[in-house]
């Protein structure tokens, strides 16, 4: 089998494709032949060292494929099952991989494996953001950053289907139409406009009850300004860099705000939670509550270019790697 390995932290150039001996699955594990691999911003955090991992290390958290072997005590999965995953341990950047069944879900026949690999990390993220972290209500005006990105594509459509009006921000004019197509009621280019002032204008000075922010350093302070009294700041990523320490008295106390830093792991820690998320995301997709377009497919040997495009904001939607 072939797998991408990082032996040191750094830029995309540290990604190396190596031949690895293929092992047999142990108790509670299966061997998967990956058919599609998810490309996610968190992969760059593991590569750069922002999220430390023991080196040398595999990389990648999301994939979909076909089971080729099962461990001796595995009863809920069989050879030939179409499956997907989006969690630790790292190692989806590979032609094959061993994976624990407790973190694995079966893929409905109605969903192509290239599509499902874009639904796992991004779809699960949208599910917990809208239904768990802050349960949105019909009629609410909410703010979502990076509305033209992979998570944004799903989030804005899903939120609109729930009756919300989404204010979406983007980093360039070329992304405005994409955000509108994704379902945004309002779109703000935060590189040109003060989005906090625009949000206050749209909400007639009240502010929004929740801000969903996966951008991080560049947007955090103004996002706090956008919130209404007792509003919630949901910081679920830091694509522009890690946040500075938060001064609770200065930032949160004046309006009694809430601040949370959720992740998929917090909402899929049990098999029951994992199956709930998968069932809801797959059902929403099958019922066409949101549509999904794969923006770009990278071949396995293009992994360095894929990471460069990801960090340079050249990917306007979900992207995948074909092993």
Per-residue pLDDT of the chain (323 residues; tens, 9 = 90+): 999 999 999 999 999 999 999 999 999 999 999 999 999 989 999 999 999 999 999 999 999 999 999 998 999 999 999 999 999 999 999 999 999 999 999 999 999 999 999 899 999 999 999 999 999 999 999 999 999 888 999 999 999 999 999 999 998 998 999 999 989 999 999 989 999 999 999 999 999 999 999 998 889 999 999 999 999 999 998 777 777 888 999 999 999 999 999 999 999 999 999 999 999 999 999 999 998 878 899 999 999 999 999 998 888 778 999 99
Q: Does residue 287 lie in a domain region?
A: no
- Residues 183 and 296 both lie in one domain: no
CA 92 to CA 77: how far, in whole Å?
A: 19
Check residue 288 and give its pLDDT: 93
- Residues 242 and 314 both lie in one domain: no
- Residues 203 and 230 both lie in one domain: yes
Residue among 33, 28, 263 at smallest CA distance from 133: 263
Other C-beta atoms lying within 10 Å of the C-beta of residue 258: 14
Check residue 317 and give its pLDDT: 73
49: left (phi over 0), alpha (psi -120 to 50) or beta: left
* Domain final position from 240, 261, 282: 261
Both tokens of 51, joined, read 């999220």
- Residues 145 and 111 both lie in one domain: no
Residue among 98, 76, 78, 85 at smallest CA distance from 31: 98
Structural domain including 12 reads 2-119+292-322
- Residues 159 and 255 both lie in one domain: yes
- Residues 247 and 316 both lie in one domain: no
- Residues 195 and 102 both lie in one domain: no
**pTM metric for this prediction:** 0.88
- Residues 144 and 252 both lie in one domain: yes
CB distance 47 to 6 below 8 Å = yes
**Which three-class secondary structure state does DSSP give residue 83?**
strand
CA 319 to CA 139: how far, in whole Å?
A: 32
For helices 303-311 and 41-48, give the axis angle rounded to 10 degrees. Answer: 100
Q: Does residue 276 lie in a domain region?
A: no
Q: Does residue 214 lie in a domain region?
A: yes
* Domain final position from 208, 243, 261: 261
Q: What is the CATH number of the domain that holds 84?
A: 3.90.180.10
Q: What is the CATH number of the domain that holds 256?
A: 3.40.50.720
CB distance 254 to 230 below 8 Å = no
- Residues 157 and 52 both lie in one domain: no
Q: Does residue 168 lie in a domain region?
A: yes
Longest pairwise C-alpha distance within the chain: 62
* Domain final position from 245, 261, 277: 261
CA 23 to CA 19: how far, in whole Å?
A: 13
Tell me how many domains the chain contains. Answer: 2
- Residues 34 and 107 both lie in one domain: yes
Q: Does residue 124 lie in a domain region?
A: no
Output DSSP code: residue 175: G
Q: Does residue 298 lie in a domain region?
A: yes
Q: Does residue 286 lie in a domain region?
A: no
Q: Does residue 217 lie in a domain region?
A: yes
CB distance 62 to 92 below 8 Å = yes
């Amino acid at each position: 089998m072939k797998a991408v390995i990082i032996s040191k932290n750094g830029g995309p150039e540290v990604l190396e494709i190596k031949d690895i001996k293929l092992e047999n699955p142990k108790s509670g594990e299966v061997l998967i032949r990956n058919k599609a691999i998810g490309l996610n911003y968190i992969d760059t955090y593991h590569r750069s060292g922002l999220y430390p991992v023991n080196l040398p290390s595999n990389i990648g958290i999301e994939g979909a494929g076909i089971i080729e072997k099962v461990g001796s005590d595995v009863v809920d999965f069989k050879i030939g099952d179409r499956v997907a995953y989006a969690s630790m341990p790292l190692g989806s950047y590979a032609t094959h991989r061993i994976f624990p069944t407790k973190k694995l879900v079966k893929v409905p026949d109605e969903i192509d494996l290239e599509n499902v690999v874009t639904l796992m990390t991004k779809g699960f993220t949208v599910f917990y953001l809208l239904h768990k972290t802050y349960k949105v209500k019909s009629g609410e005006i909410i703010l979502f950053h990076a509305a033209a990105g992979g998570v944004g594509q799903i989030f804005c459509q899903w939120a609109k289907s729930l009756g919300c009006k989404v204010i979406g921000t983007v980093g360039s004019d070329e992304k405005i139409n994409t955000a509108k197509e994704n379902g945004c009621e309002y779109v703000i280019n935060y590189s040109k406009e003060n989005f906090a002032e625009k949000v206050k204008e749209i909400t007639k000075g009240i502010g929004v009850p929740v801000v969903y922010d996966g951008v991080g350093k560049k947007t955090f302070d103004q996002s706090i300004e956008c919130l209404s009294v007792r509003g919630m700041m949901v910081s679920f990523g830091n694509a522009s860099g890690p946040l500075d320490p938060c001064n609770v008295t200065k930032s949160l106390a004046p309006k009694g705000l809430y601040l949370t830093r959720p992740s998929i792991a917090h909402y899929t820690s049990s098999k029951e939670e994992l199956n709930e998320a998968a069932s809801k995301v797959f059902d929403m997709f099958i019922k066409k509550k949101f549509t999904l377009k794969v923006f770009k497919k990278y071949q396995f040997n293009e992994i360095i270019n894929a990471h460069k495009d990801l960090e340079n904001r050249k990917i306007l939607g979900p992207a995948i790697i074909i092993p």
